[in-house]
């Protein structure tokens, strides 16, 4: 059952972001998404300042970064830690501005510094472009090469939806390369595979805000034909994804956390699923695999919530709980 405040949130959202948006062009969808985000985004909280700067990766791609810092601190490196935040939007929509409600509030409520990443979007830039951007920014953060001057050396990764895919896969790629330094991984309604996990894939296929068809459309726009083939195989195998890994090329396999062959050696992980979301069980399965490999992972479920509901922070008790869980996790793990 939806939380009453979430019912009102869904109705308000429908007026700004119609359910038939897939019939619009990608440019039009992005414009609608930005209007939706702006309607829920207040001014920066008192005590938080923001600063933009470009970052160019070693392979020559440039993306914008936005640093949010506690204004009361004379220098950002005196903050307890830094969070790299990767926004959601199915790899297709979203921007630095679209998630400012979330990123600014994390800083206001934790005292941490946060850097939001404006990675390349699909379909113009299919997989692994977004992951490559986020991986390059993370490596630069660990090496002290970001364009903001000295930052706290304690680094964590966070993201929602597709941004959670980016955060999780970057952490796994660094683990594979033997690169240390990421102290925590915070994921909210994560999209961790090209096809959602059961049973939510079936029971929440027509959930408000995000349907199974939406997930598959975004997957196809980012991962291409391989994502569509994966969805077809899932339907034909009654939801089983066993044996699908062979169908995903090495070029993009590392970008899909639930296609990984190992789950050990990851930083402590918080993966929050929400009740009414076809992606709900991605968080649970990911956490189960991490724990089975000897790691630390917690996967609470936001009861009565829907995908994208972090924007209802001002009105929803459930979203305030979810936001509080993220902030506590990041604050607790900033010092290792």
In this predicted structure, what is the pLDDT of residue 241? 32
- Give this prediction's pTM: 0.93
The per-residue pLDDT for 243 is 38
Using alpha carbons only, give the angle 54, 57, 62 rounded to the nearest 5 degrees: 40
**pLDDT bracket for residue 246 (50, 70, 90):** very low
Closest CA to 214 of 201, 203, 225, 233: 201
| 306 neighbors 207 (Cβ within 8 angstroms) | yes
Average pLDDT of the chain? 91
| Domain of 180, in residue numbers | 4-333
Measure the CA–CA gap between 6 and 4, rounded to whole angstroms: 5
Does the pLDDT of residue 170 top 70, yes or no? Answer: yes
User: Quick one: average pLDDT of 216-238?
Assistant: 68
Q: Considering its fold, how many domains does the chain have in total? A: 1
Q: Which residues pair with 83 in a beta bridge?
A: 114, 156
Torsion sign over Cα 251, 248, 209, 186: negative
Q: What DSSP designation does 267 have?
A: P
Structural element, H or E, at residue 140? helix 129-143
Binning pLDDT at 50, 70 and 90, where does residue 79 land? confident
Average pLDDT over residues 263-269: 98
DSSP 51: E
Predicted confidence at residue 336, as pLDDT, reads 59
User: Which is catalytic among the residues 95, 161, 169, 316?
Assistant: 161
Residue 237: band (very low, low, confident or very high) from pLDDT cuts 50, 70, 90: very low
Distance between CA atoms of residues 259 and 289, nearest Å: 11
> Is 98 an annotated catalytic residue?
no
Pairing verdict, β 62-70 and 113-118:
antiparallel
* Cα radius of gyration rounded to whole Å, the chain: 18
How confident is the model over 191-207, as a mean pLDDT? 97
Residue 322 has pLDDT above 70, yes or no: yes
**Tokens 């949130």 sit on residue:** 9
Kindly indicate the confidence band of residue 74, based on its pLDDT and cuts at 50, 70 and 90: low
pLDDT band at 238 (very low <50, low <70, confident <90, very high): very low
The pLDDT of residue 242 is 35
Taking only the tens place, the pLDDT of each residue in 23-72 is 889 999 999 999 999 999 999 999 999 999 999 999 999 999 999 998 86
Mapped onto helix, strand or coil, the DSSP state of residue 182 is: strand
Separation between Cα atoms, residue 190 and residue 279, nearest integer Å: 7
- Which domain CATH number covers 193? 3.40.50.1820
82-137 per-position pLDDT tens digit:
999 999 999 999 999 999 999 999 999 999 999 999 999 999 999 999 999 999 99
């Amino acid at each position: 059952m939806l939380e009453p405040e979430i019912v009102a949130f869904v109705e308000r959202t429908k007026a700004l972001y119609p359910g038939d948006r897939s019939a619009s062009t990608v440019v039009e969808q992005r414009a609608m998404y930005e209007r939706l985000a702006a309607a829920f985004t207040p001014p920066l909280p008192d005590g938080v300042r923001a600063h933009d700067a470009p970052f160019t990766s070693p392979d020559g791609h440039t993306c914008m970064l936005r640093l949010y810092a506690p204004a009361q601190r004379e220098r950002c490196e005196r903050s307890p830690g830094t969070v790299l935040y990767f926004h959601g939007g199915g790899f297709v929509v979203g921007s630095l501005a679209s998630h400012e409600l979330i990123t600014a509030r994390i800083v206001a409520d934790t005292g941490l510094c946060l850097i939001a990443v404006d990675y390349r979007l699909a379909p113009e830039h299919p997989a692994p472009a977004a992951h490559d951007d986020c991986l390059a920014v993370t490596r630069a953060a660990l090496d002290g090469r970001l364009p903001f001057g000295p930052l706290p050396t304690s680094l964590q990764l966070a993201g929602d939806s597709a941004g959670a895919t980016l955060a999780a896969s970057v952490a796994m790629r660094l683990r594979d390369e033997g690169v240390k330094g990421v102290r925590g991984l915070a994921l909210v309604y994560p999209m961790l595979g090209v096809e959602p996990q059961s049973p939510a894939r079936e029971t929440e296929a027509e959930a408000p805000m995000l349907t199974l068809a939406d997930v598959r459309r975004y997957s196809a726009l980012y991962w291409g034909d391989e994502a569509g083939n994966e969805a077809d195989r899932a339907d034909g195998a009654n939801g089983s994804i066993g044996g699908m890994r062979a169908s995903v090329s090495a070029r993009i396999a590392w970008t899909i956390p639930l296609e990984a062959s190992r789950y050990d050696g990851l930083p402590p992980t918080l993966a929050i699923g929400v009740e009414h979301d076809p992606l709900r069980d991605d968080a649970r399965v990911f956490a189960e695999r991490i724990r089975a490999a000897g790691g630390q992972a917690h996967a609470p479920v936001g009861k009565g919530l829907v995908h994208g509901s972090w924007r209802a922070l001002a009105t929803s008790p459930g979203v305030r709980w979810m936001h509080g869980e993220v902030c506590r996790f990041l604050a607790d793990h900033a010092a290792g």
